[in-house]
Structure 1
Amino acid sequence: MYKRSVFFILAAIIIAVFFQRFYLDVPVGKNITITQKYTKRVIFIPLDSRPPCAKFVIDAGRIADIEVITPPQSMMDYYTEPGNTAALRRWLAENAVSADGIIVSIDQLLYGGLLASRQSFGKEAQEGALWQMLKDIRESNPQLPIYAFNILPRITPPANIDSVQDIKNLMEYSRLTDKLSQFYDEDDLVKIEKLRGKIPEGHLAQYMDLYIRNLQLNKKLIDLAAQKVLTKVVIGQDDGEKYGIPNMERRSLQQYTATEQLDNGTVFITHGADEVGMSLLFNMAQEFNDNKYHPRIFVAYNEESSAQAILPYMAAPVEEITEEKIAMTGGRIVSTADEADFILYLHIGDDENLSARYCGAKRIKEWLKDGKKVAVVDLSRHFSADEALFPVLLANDVPVNSLLAYSGWNTVSNSVGTAVSQAALYCLSDNNKINTDDVLRLTYNNLTVLYEHFVEDYFYLKGTIDAVNISLRKAGINNVSDLNLENNYLWANRMLALSLQGQLDKLAYSMASRTPLTIKTSDGIKKIYLRNMKVDAFFPWPRTFEIYTDVNFTMLLGQ
């Protein structure tokens, strides 16, 4: 018995020493203090106040040493409450003089945000005042880059149309109208006429007027680009489908742009919405860059069929959207990984290709081992953790700190646009680094954005959101899109914070995270270790669809 006890005690000591040595010991190295450095200042009016549209852009700006300035929160939208458009225009006019560049959401400046723009029926928008203000800014600042973006209305009717049957009928009317405009079919014409008789006249008028007014608004923006009032205009298409009136508006605007003889560098029409601000931030960084950097990108898929997959909320296959987002950077797709600035790996998971995830993790691990730069887009057809690549990366000790970007939000356009922009910003900045401090600052800022996407895109959206929603519903709170700020909102925030910190702790002690990141500096090859990871998280709006995350960590420099 005595010998057995001694054996167990010795075994426990050995295990404890091993754990201490390999998991808790801080590697020999210097604790790095990062001082932010800004070389340019960009005024940014976000699409709305959600983190993907605002905070992500601010954080990404630091990768390129760009200070992104947004309006005071008191002027911005808050969920269903629109922003103060008059105050926002005054703020923009007052701050334009101190800016090196301007990026503005027309939806925010005219209506007070994306949600408000969908409810704009019967509301007078001060278009004339906005156009005049932009002209005044241009007259006072002839060389100032001014970018503007606007989002096409989605196929789903505005929220005030709340009859389930009316919503279904309007959406089917939209699909058939677009289909009929491309392929004449008498049966479709009969169906449209029957639907017209079922839809209340006021609802149909509101639905159609939304597209008519938006078409004229976008044509005006294109005219301002032709007149060089605006340096660049991007028109995004929110949640789309294969057929729908939004597609008709997109095609009409493409024809109008061609008639005006404007190239993609001046007017770009794209799928997506929330990521457009991030894409334009990279374009602005290009403006500031003397050599007008254009990325070379090697695109790889988890399997050949993924390129042609059409995922939810998309009006085009993955490959078309990917080519579009790369075109927005002015970049080009190259045929081999060796000639690329970075590899864009797209995982399109579904319940039929689960076994391919190991092969994907192995490819990424080999690329990283060879010193290649890799950005990962991690999507799943059913929006499930079981179909995602990230847990397989962790299980196979893929050094995730070495990734340039990771994105797996709710749509292809969001995820691809965000990942391409972050990776391109990194490569542009990496080309301009001068000394070791520049390299360390770039590394820290990119890792911050990377980990915020790990936390939100995987930990939250592929798991924690369901746990929070189930807990709320078990407590009798069925509407998770309208939480009570005095009661269940605070409880939901508490559940969120505990869950995400627990998952981040687990990631922090995995080999995938603890494997040091190797960087090249003016002082030679160095290793970067991350320790003391913490995440602050809360729901920015009284609903559980999106979260605000702020990830902090200690960065140590070793040999």
Structure 2
Amino acid sequence: MKKVLVGLPVDGRPVVRQQVQALVAAGGWELRMPEVAQLGRPAWPAQRDLLAAWLEREADGAAGVIVSIDMLVYGGRVPARFIGDELNALLPRLSLMRRLKRRAPRRPIYAFAAALRIANSGLADGEKSYWPEYGQRLWAWSFHGDRCRQTGDPSAATLAGRAEDGLPAAIRADYLATRARNFAVNVALLDLVEQGVIDRLVLPQDNTSDYGLDAAERRELRQMIQARGLSELVLIYPGADEAMHTLAAHLVGRLRGSPPLRITVSCSDAANLGTLRARYEDRPLLESLASQVEAVGACLVGPDEAADLLLALHSSGPAQGDWALRLPLPAPQAFSAGWAAALARSDLPVAVADLAYANGADPVLIEALAAQRLLPRLVGYAGWNTASNSLGGLLAQLVLARSAWARPANRLNTALRLADDFLYQARLRQTLRDQLDEARLPADALAAAARSLFVPAADAWLSAMGLPGRISRCHLPWDRSFEIDLELQP
């Protein structure tokens, strides 16, 4: 079998494109994707016709195909929130999936399409033009209206009514029409699964909560999935940016014919983990873990059962902090040095999911692992974005590099995550934002400042920690400080 996959990512950010390619390559496979320049930007959609032609052409030599429906249909996940195309112009773009299946009926086609998020903010970034003025009212109307319908709570009805009073009818109608259009596309995807065109579909929930228009759509989709008998083929759970990672891992495992990777878990704060809900997610963290394990095709085993590796799950207290929003841990727990020492003594390979904070690592954990000289021995690490992003990305790395965890490619991938998630996201991004007003700074000046601050510090830290690689590329792919594009060379 030719060990080549073809993928259409959700956008051109490094974490969803070349970093996934690096994980797949560490497992001995190739994941071909379009060039970054072809994948659009937050403010404008990609050229969808060109991407569809690229996918149809490249798929001919591939063992499997993974498609971001948001990219194929809307030109990216961000454009899906504001693009003005009508449904009758969008649905025909799904016909490509049928053509791909007809040309190679036995070739697996995997797909993913995120639920349309509803942001609780007035930020204009990647939203409708009216979001700065009406976004928070739309969120309140959505959340409290659904909460009232689900619980009957009269206070929710009051809050929803107040929000609706401040929303022009035209704004509400436009927003509901956009949601209805995107929901109809997701229902059409269920049809393609039922007809055997799509072999596995993930509908990840981007920045979701218990209530809201997005939650109502999620409940309706679940009912459809169950009624059609598609529960083993269609997955719905919190996440989004990690979907290409997990589908690639599941697909490679399927093509290899590998048995499920057996994972046992050790928790740094077991007392709080059972009730911890990660930020931006609608369920307990342990449920999110189970969903991501299922997504990659692995399985969880108990401490007394035979396992392939140990997943160290780090949290601290009953709620997460958030580095990007500068929210500290609400109730941090004393860290047990004994837990880190036990990880260092484990006979199993150790990987770390660092989930105390959203959008970055916990420096307390990193220092403890460094003290045990465990960082260069880790077979995987993640602490980026949401908890599900970290879990899915890490589990994908472990499945893809299975039996090759000690090889240079996987060690380099782990070092990159440590440099990004700890040194940049949890430490130097804050310094950069304190030193500069990025809203007023030209993009090239911001990128130069990030390189000057990060590269010498990262090279020195990687060397001091005994980690492989030095920074060979460092820039800001979307001209903002939130994410950084890094490449490490041995």
Tell me, yes or no, whether TM beats 0.5: yes
Q: Which residue of 2 aligns with 1:330?
A: 297
For residues 350 and 417 of structure 2, what CA distance do their matches in structure 1 show?
Answer: 15
Aligned residue for 1:308, secondary structure, equals: coil
Which runs of structure 2 are paired with 1:299-378 in the superposition (5 Å)? 299-304=265-270, 305-336=272-303, 338-349=305-316, 350=329, 352-367=331-346, 370=347, 372-378=348-354
In the TM superposition, residue 54 of structure 1 has moved relative to its aligned partner by 0.7
How has the CA–CA distance of structure 1 residues 164 and 388 changed in structure 2, closer, same or farther, with 3 Å as cutoff?
A: farther
In the TM superposition, residue 130 of structure 1 has moved relative to its aligned partner by 2.0
In structure 1, give the amino acid aligned to 2:313.
L
For residues 332 and 354 of structure 2, what CA distance do their matches in structure 1 show?
Answer: 13
- Runs of 4 or more above 6 Å deviation: none
Tell me if 1:239 matches 2:207. Answer: yes
Q: Which residue of 2 aligns with 1:445?
A: 409
Aligned residue for 2:479, secondary structure, equals: coil
Q: Report sequence identity in percent.
A: 25
Preserved contact between residue 497 and residue 538 of structure 1 (Cα < 8 Å): no
Task: Answer with 446-455 or 153-162: which moved more.
Answer: 153-162
Residues 65-115 of structure 1: CA deviation (Å, up to 9, x unaligned): 110100123321234232111100011111111111100101111111111
Aligned residue for 1:458, secondary structure, equals: helix
Q: Which residue of 1 aligns with 2:389?
A: 414
Q: Which residue of 2 aligns with 1:27?
A: none
Alignment equivalent of 1:107, drawn from 49, 66, 70: 70
List alignment gaps of at least 5 residues for structure 1. 1-37, 431-438, 514-529, 554-559
TM-score by length of 1: 0.79
Tell me if 1:391 matches 2:367. Answer: yes
Q: Which residue of 2 aligns with 1:460?
A: 424
Q: Which residue of 1 aligns with 2:435?
A: 471
TM-score by length of 2: 0.90
In the TM superposition, residue 205 of structure 1 has moved relative to its aligned partner by 1.9
How has the CA–CA distance of structure 1 residues 93 and 495 changed in structure 2, closer, same or farther, with 3 Å as cutoff?
A: same
How has the CA–CA distance of structure 1 residues 535 and 348 changed in structure 2, closer, same or farther, with 3 Å as cutoff?
A: farther
Residues 478-501 of structure 1: CA deviation (Å, up to 9, x unaligned): 45xxx5234443333333323322
Task: Answer with 234-243 or 489-498: which moved more.
Answer: 489-498
Task: Answer with 348-357 or 310-319: which moved more.
Answer: 348-357
Q: Which residue of 2 aligns with 1:4?
A: none
Alignment equivalent of 2:12, drawn from 49, 52, 58: 49
Which runs of structure 2 are paired with 1:187-266 in the superposition (5 Å)? 187-264=155-232, 266=233
Preserved contact between residue 344 and residue 420 of structure 1 (Cα < 8 Å): no
Tell me if 1:179 matches 2:147. Answer: yes
Tell me if 1:492 matches 2:455. Answer: no
Q: Which residue of 1 aligns with 2:483?
A: 546
For residues 396 and 274 of structure 2, what CA distance do their matches in structure 1 show?
Answer: 20
Tell me if 1:506 matches 2:464. Answer: yes
In the TM superposition, residue 245 of structure 1 has moved relative to its aligned partner by 1.8
In structure 1, give the amino acid aligned to 2:195.
Q
Preserved contact between residue 345 and residue 374 of structure 1 (Cα < 8 Å): yes
For residues 311 and 483 of structure 2, what CA distance do their matches in structure 1 show?
Answer: 25
Q: Which residue of 2 aligns with 1:400?
A: 375
Looking at secondary structure, tell me which structure has more strand per residue.
1
In structure 1, give the amino acid aligned to 2:286.
E
In structure 2, give the amino acid aligned to 1:397.
Q
Q: Which residue of 2 aligns with 1:297?
A: 263
For residues 199 and 147 of structure 1, what CA distance do their matches in structure 2 show?
Answer: 39
RMSD across aligned C-alpha pairs, in angstroms?
Answer: 2.3
In the TM superposition, residue 241 of structure 1 has moved relative to its aligned partner by 2.2
Aligned residue for 1:343, secondary structure, equals: strand
In the TM superposition, residue 544 of structure 1 has moved relative to its aligned partner by 0.9
Preserved contact between residue 496 and residue 538 of structure 1 (Cα < 8 Å): no
Q: Which residue of 1 aligns with 2:239?
A: 272
Tell me if 1:166 matches 2:134. Answer: yes
Which runs of structure 2 are paired with 1:429-440 in the superposition (5 Å)? 430=403
Preserved contact between residue 266 and residue 313 of structure 2 (Cα < 8 Å): yes
* Length, aligned pairs only: 472
For residues 473 and 465 of structure 2, what CA distance do their matches in structure 1 show?
Answer: 16
Task: Answer with 303-312 or 443-452: which moved more.
Answer: 303-312
In structure 1, give the amino acid aligned to 2:166.
K
In structure 2, give the amino acid aligned to 1:355.
A
Preserved contact between residue 301 and residue 307 of structure 1 (Cα < 8 Å): no
How has the CA–CA distance of structure 1 residues 167 and 101 changed in structure 2, closer, same or farther, with 3 Å as cutoff?
A: same
Q: Which residue of 1 aligns with 2:103?
A: 140
For residues 533 and 191 of structure 1, what CA distance do their matches in structure 2 show?
Answer: 53
In the TM superposition, residue 385 of structure 1 has moved relative to its aligned partner by 5.8
